């Protein structure tokens, strides 16, 4: 009985440790994930925004922050999809990763544009608040 119990126990423990404890958002990342369809208000210091890009066209997300801060914004996905941050007057392209000073109380628009193909399903954008002084940082957006 003991000889059968240990291999079965080890097999079950292996399966649980490799599948049961992971949060899978399709990006292998455990950061909180927000959908582009709902406005994002006062998000945490490190998070993801997911866009469904299965169809050709533009997708928009609205985001606003409680405090002025410097953020690292990273495009996590296929390079053919275009990413822009937009304020009231400017669309700022983000090729892969960028650092911007974002102002509290302003509503920014995240624009994801898929003009190439309909083969993609989910496209992630990472936001990480940096420990940099907003007042002296440039560029502010």
Q: What is the CATH number of the domain that holds 54?
A: 2.60.120.380
Other CB atoms within 10 Å distance of the CB of residue 134:
16
For the segment 50-90, what is each residue's pLDDT rounded down to a tens digit?
999 888 899 999 999 999 999 999 999 888 899 999 998 89
Name the residue range of residue 77's domain. 25-130
Residue 121 pLDDT: 75
How many helices, marked H, and strands, marked E, lie in the chain? Answer: 1, 10
Q: Higher pLDDT residue, 62 or 16?
A: 62
Using 50, 70 and 90 to split pLDDT, how confident is the model at 6? very low
In a domain, 114, yes or no: yes
Domain membership flag for residue 56: yes
Number of domains in the chain: 1
In a domain, 104, yes or no: yes
The percent of residues above 90 in pLDDT, for the chain, comes to 64
pLDDT above 70 for 25: no
Give the per-residue pLDDT at 60. Answer: 96
For residue 9, is it within any domain? no
Residue 57 in domain? yes
pTM for the structure as a whole: 0.77
- Decide if 140 is inside a domain: no
Q: Is residue 116 part of a domain?
A: yes
């Amino acid at each position: 009985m003991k000889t059968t119990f240990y291999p079965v126990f080890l097999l079950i423990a292996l399966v649980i440790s490799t599948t049961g404890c992971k949060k899978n958002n399709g990006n292998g990342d455990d950061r909180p994930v927000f959908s582009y369809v709902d406005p994002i208000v006062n998000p945490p210091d490190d998070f993801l925004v997911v866009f469904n890009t299965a169809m050709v066209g533009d997708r928009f997300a609205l985001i606003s922050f409680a405090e002025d801060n410097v953020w690292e914004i990273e495009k996590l996905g296929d390079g053919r999809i275009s990413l822009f941050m937009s304020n009231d007057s400017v669309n700022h392209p983000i090729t892969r990763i960028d650092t911007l000073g974002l102002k509290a109380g302003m509503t920014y628009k995240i624009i994801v544009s898929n003009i190439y193909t309909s083969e993609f399903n989910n496209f992630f954008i990472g936001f990480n608040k940096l420990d940099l002084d907003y007042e002296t940082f440039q560029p502010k957006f």
